[in-house]
Amino acid sequence: MTEPDDRAERALRDALGAHANEPHFEPLRLNVAAKPPRRLPRWVPAAAALVLVAVVGIPLMLQSAGSGAPTAGVPADAQAERAPRSTAAGYDLPTATPGWRWESHRVLSYQVPTSWGYGWAPASDWCAGGQQTRYGAIVDVALGDRPVRMILCPRAIPVDQLPMFVTVRAADATDRGWDLPSGWSITSKAMSGYVLDVVHPDREARVADEIVASVRPIGEVDPNGCPATAGSPVRSEVVRPDRVSLCQYDLAKTRQLVASKVLVGDTAQPVFEALTAAPKGVGPDDPSCQAVGRTDVIVRLWKGSTATDVGVRYSGCQGNGVPGLDGARKLTKAVCQAVMVPPITFTTGHGQAGRLCAPDPTPSASPSR
């Protein structure tokens, strides 16, 4: 590296250090973690990032990578993480090992300890975070294209910026933009065109091995009661559920399941109440644009072994709302808050619908609910 390059890198590092704790570095309730590269990561076109900039109000780009990224995770709610014990559409739903819970992403399901939280695993901008993760291990909630700050970080990531985490990536996505420190390893398993990676300190190799050993194809319904691909909710009467499955789908990937969560008993009721309290109608929509949303959510309201599906559409310019109840209903802030429960996360949105569902900007490193 030339002397001018060295000076530029030092100046950039000094500037990042001076501003790392400013509030605008924390755009999401899930804290965005650090990132790494000496070489620039791969970027999608800037136009795609404008949605996030407009809704969240920070300078981000979308990085096409296999892993996701915040370091400060959200603590898991063990009571709300148990897999359903009944059947859905004739499929037996496996229960998790005691002290563990099921997670799903793309075509794979796997188990993690119930003590694990949620967050974005470190990406190429790891040095912008300026904060350590508050939780010892996290499930990566980032999709393949994730927001990263437009900065350049060293490839050598410090141990205090690296949580133990599990992520599912496409088999051809390999470079995270940083290098593992000494005493850390990656335990992996490839299946169905995807790879599950557990990034862990060597002393946690046994836990990593158990996670990898639990990996299974989703099949038609995942262990949390979510179909592998989203259907279309139909108008139906609903009754108060005894549990709720939250199912998030990637609209760009043939409506492929990207995250699921099951809420049981009292934890399921706020979802039902928010949905049924939403006013009749559609939207809010933005007729000035035509962009198609990136993700949406199907809420499965379970009563015994019968599920009623309700849609929550929030990410496109048009077609937003809550279809599938006793007639269409409008999207509300209460609905967004009820269904955006990690690992279900807001990615992009447009206009009023985006503002309803986008997490409030926060200067805190530990937002959770």
Rg from Cα positions in the chain:
20
Residue 198 structure tokens: 């557990």
Give the pLDDT confidence of 2-55 residue by residue, as tens digits.
444 454 455 445 544 444 443 333 333 333 333 333 332 332 232 332 233 333
As beta bridge partners, residue 322 has: 329
pLDDT at 52 (0 to 100): 37
pLDDT of 340 higher than 90: yes
Render 71-92 in DSSP notation, one character per residue.
Answer: SS-B---GGG-PPP-SEETTEE
- 32 or 89, greater pLDDT: 89
pLDDT of residue 293: 83
Closest by CA position to 283, among listed 328, 221, 249, 245: 328
pLDDT band at 90 (very low <50, low <70, confident <90, very high): very low
pLDDT in tens, 199-245: 999 999 999 999 999 999 998 999 999 999 888 877 777 789 999 99
Structure tokens at 34: 């650090």
- Half-sphere exposure (Cβ direction) of 24: Cα atoms closer than 13 Å: 8
How big is the CA angle at 360 (ends 359 and 361), to the nearest 5 degrees?
A: 110
Is residue 303 within 8 A of residue 336, CB to CB? The reply is no
Q: What is the pLDDT of residue 199?
A: 96
Q: pLDDT tens for residues 306-317? A: 889 999 999 999
Within 10 A of 185 (CB to CB), how many other CB atoms are there?
14
pLDDT of res. 77? 44
What's the confidence (pLDDT) of residue 180?
92
Q: Using 50, 70 and 90 to split pLDDT, how confident is the model at 361?
A: low
Burial of 122 (C-beta count, 10 Å sphere; 0-12/13-18/19+) = buried
Asked if pLDDT for residue 353 goes beyond 60, the answer is: yes
Local structure of residue 203 (DSSP, 8 states): G
* Alpha helices for the chain (secondary structure H): 3-19, 46-56, 205-213, 269-277, 333-339, 351-357
| Secondary structure (3-state) at 199 | strand
pTM over 0.85: no
* Distance separating alpha carbons of residues 179 and 196, to the nearest angstrom: 18
User: In sequence order, what E strands does 56-160 have?
Assistant: 60-64, 87-88, 91-92, 100-105, 108-113, 117-119, 137-140, 145-149
Residue 29 CA, distance from chain mean position: 11
Under a CB-based contact definition with an 8 Å cutoff, are residues 235 and 327 in contact? Answer: yes
Across 76-85, 132-141, 152-161, least confident range: 76-85
Smallest Cα–Cα separation from 296: which of 236, 256, 261? 256
pLDDT band at 128 (very low <50, low <70, confident <90, very high): confident
60 has a pLDDT exceeding 80: no
Do the Cβ atoms of 330 and 281 come closer than 8 Å?
yes
The pLDDT tens digits of the residues spanning 242-298 come to 999 999 999 877 789 999 999 998 999 999 999 999 999 999 999 888 888 889 999
**Regarding predicted confidence, which is higher, 80 or 294?**
294
- In angstroms, rounded to a whole number, what is the distance separating the alpha carbons of residues 157 and 16? 15
Supply 4's token pair. 């001018």
pLDDT score for 145: 63
Please tell me the predicted confidence (pLDDT) of residue 322.
94
Q: Give the pLDDT confidence of 287-307 residue by residue, as tens digits.
A: 888 888 889 999 999 998 888
